[in-house]
Amino acid sequence: MSGPKAHAQAAASSSAGSSSQTAADQDIQLLRQDIRSQKKQLIAANLKLTDAESEKFWPVYDQYTTDLVKINNQKYALVKGYADNWGNMTDDQALSYIQRWLAVDQQVSALRAKYVAIVNKVLTGKKTATFFQLERRVQMMIDIQLASQLPLVQAQGQ
């Protein structure tokens, strides 16, 4: 099995030891870097920019990505914590997990809202909207894949 679930399970394995956890963490970091690279390529291929727009847009995009990574670090810490506690999760831990997940989602939404005005300073309204459509679609695909790899809390037993 590969993907986030395999990495999360590897990280959660108590018999694997800390060196395996470090290796799993490194694998996750490489996977995230690869996703960011693919995301940038996808946006570049679908967001038709002039040379002048590109010169102004890509530094903004890179800063947006840097800010988004900080928030996504919280998301991946949640996934790791979920993997570490799955099977032994209490009701309170389950509620805390979902509340923290929702807080991360709210932070991402707030970041997007902040950057609409920033991107719109360097791109037209239509191109700004197109960028955020593309960015959101890619993020939804990543979120669906991540979510599909995590077992439901209730599956651990009643």
2 has a pLDDT exceeding 70:
no
Give the pLDDT confidence score for residue 97 in this predicted structure: 87
Q: What is the pLDDT of residues 13-59, one digit of tens each?
A: 444 445 555 655 655 565 666 676 788 888 999 999 999 999 999 99
Structure tokens at 26: 């490194």
Within 8 A by CB and 6+ apart from 48, the residues are 127
Average per-residue pLDDT for the chain:
79
Q: Please give the single-letter amino acid code of residue 98.
A: I
Q: Please give the single-letter amino acid code of residue 72.
A: N
Give the pLDDT confidence score for residue 12 in this predicted structure: 43
What global pTM score does this model have?
A: 0.73
Give the pLDDT confidence score for residue 17 in this predicted structure: 46
Within 8 A by CB and 6+ apart from 62, the residues are none
CB 42 within 8 A of CB 138: yes
Helix 17-46, helix 51-85: angle, nearest 10 = 150
Domain layout of the chain by residue ranges: 4-153
Give the pLDDT confidence score for residue 1 in this predicted structure: 42
Q: What is the pLDDT of residues 117-131, one digit of tens each?
A: 999 999 999 999 999
Cβ atoms within 10 Å, residue 64: 18
